[in-house]
Chain A
Amino acid sequence: MTGPAREREGHRPSRTHPAKGRKAFGNRDGGRLLVLAPALGWLVLFVAAPAAILVAIAFADSDPGVPPFRLALSVAGFAVLAEDTYYLDALLTALRVAATTAALCLLLAYPMAMGIARAAPGRRVVLLALLMLPFWTGFLLRVGAWIGLLRDEGWINSLLQSAGLADAPIPLLYTEGAMLVGMVHAYLPFAVLPLFAAFLRLDPSLGEAAADLGARPATVFLTVTLPVTAPAAAAGFLLVFIPAAGEFVIPELMGPPEAQMVGRVLWQEFFQNRDWPVAAALAVALLALLLVPIRLFQRLEARP
């Protein structure tokens, strides 16, 4: 990801690049163009153009035709968002759920990252694989596993009933709690990885020095470990928060019917109500809300 420093460099024309004997393949302007042009063309077509069209349709008028919009310079879509608290609530609920998910992930991630970083190198590789493997095993299958655990006839409820702890099934699935469990499970590795890297870089003598000077473990953690790893914790928080804010699948499959997060509302506006301008306006509003977290994350990533 490009940092602010690199962006400033980027304005310098390439011709000032010092000629150093024969230039590597792709370092001559012709070769460079051969590499850059197809990639740039692709990105303009499949990244820049879709974004421009999204914004254009957010300002379009709804229309009963096919496609269901008429290009215009109208703020009708945004007016709908502003007038009906349903949409504002969906945006706020998404931000609240995403923040809760990210905070819970950090809480779990701290000891995991610390433990993995402190393990012997051989064991560390195994622990890292154990951390990443769930992430690769299919997100929907993991959601399916939680459905199997949490539903009324599920594993947890039959365990509780056979242990005599419950007479009737306790409704666990389709609650906000279930949704949060699913989201934390899905995003936890994102929070652990930056913290793990920070703990790996952390000089153990810092904590030892504090301990030698009489600090108790809790004090060492609060006054040394926490401040040193804070940027990594912030990066981990944002790495969870940004995708979680737009999450659609987990609220849909595990959340309560009334928990309308913006991802779900956008989906319904588009597929059920066929109101493309409102759906596009929602997407633009979500992006606007995420702009600050995204920039913040890119700053943290660009740190040395």
Chain B
Amino acid sequence: MRQGRLVRAAMLAGFAFLWLPILLLVAYAFSADRIPFQWGGFSLRWFHALAADERLVEAALLSLRIAAGAASLAVLLGGAAGWALARFGPFRGRAVFGALIGAPLVLPEVVTGLSLLLLFVALDILTGWPAGRGATTVLLAHATLGAAFVAVVVQARLAETDRSLEEAAMDLGATPFLAFRTVTLPLVAPALAAGWLLAFTLSLDDVVIASFVSGPAGTTLPMALFSMLRLGLTPEVNALGAVVVIGVGAMLAVAAILLRPRRG
């Protein structure tokens, strides 16, 4: 069919557009040349340079810590919010609650970042907490952003599972807590895991909100990367790209396995 072939060609062009820059970034990470995207023979020197760059390594470790903390908080908050929205029926203030949890999904990053910074400044003046800005304020901001995404994933997962499973467990004599622990929690566990990974990645990827709410002591990896890219591309960024693409690929594979629909 002529039309089918046309659609396929256009689809492949779209994928090429998406992937060509990424594949080149990864491939040239193995080039010895000092100029990025120039082939100077195979070499791992830029990976060594990357590992030796203390500023970047420190920023990466800080980012990983912030992302793990923010994702864990986001799962608790977003899990509770998603559960409330899916299972509590119509409760008073549900619309406001839903709007608040979903707000970070639709607000531009600069608005979220600016308003959170203003909050931290106001809190500092009024209560003396958080006493300056840094890793903690970034973590709190990222947890709020991540919770919005976790809530969507958890709510969707609960909406497609049958409430009567929990009721059946209780009809058979399980206490509400036992029913929650043995029926509800296993049902939403994949959604919680996927939500954690989503919140983790969002945190690792964010530069705008972090730049607003962080302080001199809290330079995250994206913030460091952003200031490097302002001056152009370096081969170290190429090497970092290769590390991240391969790492994220592995993580996504894990998420895909966790989210595989279960039968029976």
Q: 1/0 per position for B103-116, CB-CB distance to A under 8 A?
A: 11111111110111
Alpha-carbon gap, A298 to B107, bound state (A):
13
**A267 contacts the other chain (CB 8 A):** yes
Q: Do A32 and B84 have beta carbons less than 8 Å apart?
A: yes
Alpha-carbon gap, A156 to B119, bound state (A):
45
Residue among A13, A27, A280 with the most chain B CB within 10 A?
A: A27
Alpha-carbon gap, A141 to B175, bound state (A):
50
Main secondary structure of the interface of B (DSSP, over half): helix
Given known pairs A22-B170, A144-B233, the reply for A32 and B111 (CB within 8 Å) is: no
Q: Which residues of B contact A143 (CB under 8 A)?
A: 229
Given known pairs A27-B88, A217-B2, the reply for A151 and B7 (CB within 8 Å) is: no
Q: How many residues of B contact A (CB 8 A)?
A: 102
Q: Which residue of B lies closest to A287 (CB)?
A: B111
Q: Which residues of A contact B37 (CB under 8 A)?
A: 148-149, 154-155, 158
Q: Do B115 and A54 have beta carbons less than 8 Å apart?
A: yes
Given known pairs A17-B89, A24-B180, the reply for A217 and B3 (CB within 8 Å) is: yes
Nearest Cβ in chain B — how far from A283, in angstroms? 5
How many residue-residue contacts, CB under 8 A, span A and B? Answer: 308
Q: Do B244 and A141 have beta carbons less than 8 Å apart?
A: yes
**B100 contacts the other chain (CB 8 A):** yes
Q: How many residues of A contact B (CB 8 A)?
A: 106
Q: Which residue of A lies closest to B166 (CB)?
A: A24
Name A141's contact: one of B85, B91, B240 (CB within 8 Å): B240
- Which 5 A-B pairs have CB atoms at the shortest separation, nearest pair first? A246-B108, A115-B11, A111-B10, A25-B176, A2-B98
Q: Do A147 and B140 have beta carbons less than 8 Å apart?
A: no
Q: Do B88 and A32 have beta carbons less than 8 Å apart?
A: yes
| Residues in A133-176 with C-beta less than 8 Å from chain B | 133-134, 136-149, 151, 153-155, 158
Q: 1/0 per position for A91-118, CB-CB distance to B under 8 A?
A: 0000000000000000011111011101
Name B100's contact: one of A48, A147, A158 (CB within 8 Å): A48
Alpha-carbon gap, A64 to B14, bound state (A):
51
Q: Do A111 and B11 have beta carbons less than 8 Å apart?
A: yes
Q: Which residues of A contact B125 (CB under 8 A)?
A: 67
Nearest Cβ in chain A — how far from B141, in angstroms? 8
**B262 contacts the other chain (CB 8 A):** no
Name A12's contact: one of B8, B90, B201, B208 (CB within 8 Å): B90
Nearest Cβ in chain A — how far from B46, in angstroms? 13
**A224 contacts the other chain (CB 8 A):** no
Q: Do A54 and B118 have beta carbons less than 8 Å apart?
A: yes
Name A14's contact: one of B22, B90, B152 (CB within 8 Å): B90
Alpha-carbon gap, A51 to B222, bound state (A):
25
Q: Which residues of B contact A49 (CB under 8 A)?
A: 119
**B138 contacts the other chain (CB 8 A):** no
**Interface-facing stretch out of A33-41, A74-82, A227-235:** A33-41
**A257 contacts the other chain (CB 8 A):** no
Nearest Cβ in chain B — how far from A276, in angstroms? 8
Name B167's contact: one of A21, A54, A142 (CB within 8 Å): A21
Q: Which residues of B contact A54 (CB under 8 A)?
A: 111, 114-115, 118
Q: Which residues of B contact A9 (CB under 8 A)?
A: 90, 94
Q: Do B104 and A10 have beta carbons less than 8 Å apart?
A: no
Q: Which residues of B contact A303 (CB under 8 A)?
A: none
Alpha-carbon gap, A279 to B121, bound state (A):
15
Given known pairs A136-B201, A188-B18, the reply for A158 and B84 (CB within 8 Å) is: no
Q: Which residue of B lies closest to A283 (CB)?
A: B111
Q: Do B176 and A141 have beta carbons less than 8 Å apart?
A: no
Q: Do B83 and A43 have beta carbons less than 8 Å apart?
A: no
Q: Do A42 and B144 have beta carbons less than 8 Å apart?
A: yes
Alpha-carbon gap, A262 to B110, bound state (A):
9
**B245 contacts the other chain (CB 8 A):** yes
